[in-house]
Amino acid sequence: MPPPPFATRLALVFLVAVLTLVGCSTVTIAYNRADFFVKAYAKDYLDLEPVQVAGWEPLLIRELARHRAEELPYLAAYADQVLRASRLGLDEGNMTCLIASSRDLYQRQARYAVTLVTPLLAGLSPAQIKRLDQRFKEEAEEDLAELAEGGGSAERVRRTRRLVDALEDWTGPLASGQEALVAEAMGRMPETRRLYLDYRGYQRGNLITLLEAKAGEARISAFLTDWLVDWREMPPALDQARGTMDAVIAKLFIRLAASLDQTQRDWLDKRLRDLRDDLMELQRQPQMATLSC
């Protein structure tokens, strides 16, 4: 997948901080310093002035406190849901549930990102808007150049390597046969990257138009919510491909789970237990929310 839009990346800061790092102390430190990571990322990406950051910081602090109180119970519950499913054995039923829950979680995090980024975007100066537009164009050129390099086969190799690396964070090293399962699944994924890049470019252009017109926070927030949270106006071909991708990933995970040896199962179990426990300990009043399925 290509890099997500800025607001989506901001949303994923919450998830990345707690879902991709190894070890209790690392997760705890990362989450407790989320204000630093989010602030630094926003400052760099939008080229903010110190006064803009200072005016925005109280909102960031409030939203992070709300995230700790309202979202960590959902993230802890999801880690527990994955743990229980992995112990029972992955099948079509629990994979459908896990994928649905992960989308719900993404949308919840994305709403925080929209809340945080909207006042920053609304307050950009004409010069900052121009630099943001230039950054969008440079990223698009880089992404298209990467897509053209080696064609679809090279992209499948890159996608396979990224997924193998991500999986090994949770299971330990994969055997050659397990890596082959990943490669075979990636070969069945629909080719959507160009569709995504075109859609992202179109929406980024719409965002720049809004900013240049000095649209207020309400219009910017509504636009970002439609685009990044609710996925409205997504091209039909891209929307349809999501269903195929879900089916491919579900089948892959079911096959991989069945292929894990005892060492890999133990590694996965410990990683999930540690993550769930870390997410509970980060809460002021530890609890797990009720997920949609």
Contacts for 279 with CB less than 8 Å, ≥ 6 apart: 18, 27, 72, 75, 76, 79
pTM (2 d.p.):
0.87
Treating both helix axes as pointing N-terminal to C-terminal, what angle do 92-122 and 236-259 enclose, rounded to 10 degrees? 130
Q: What is the DSSP string of 157-223?
A: HHHHHHHHHHHHHHHSSPPHHHHHHHHHHHHTS---HHHHHHHHHHHHHHHHHHHHTT--HHHHHHH
Give the integer Cα–Cα distance in Å for 117 and 11: 10
Phi-psi region of 289 (alpha: psi -120 to 50; beta: other; left: phi over 0): beta
- Note the pLDDT tens digit of each residue in 150-166: 666 787 888 899 999 99
- Note the pLDDT tens digit of each residue in 91-145: 999 999 999 998 898 899 889 989 999 999 999 999 999 999 999 999 999 999 9
- Note the pLDDT tens digit of each residue in 178-213: 999 999 999 999 988 889 999 999 999 999 999 999
Closest by Cα among 68, 117, 106 to 229: 106
Query: Tokens 């995504």 identify what position?
Result: 196
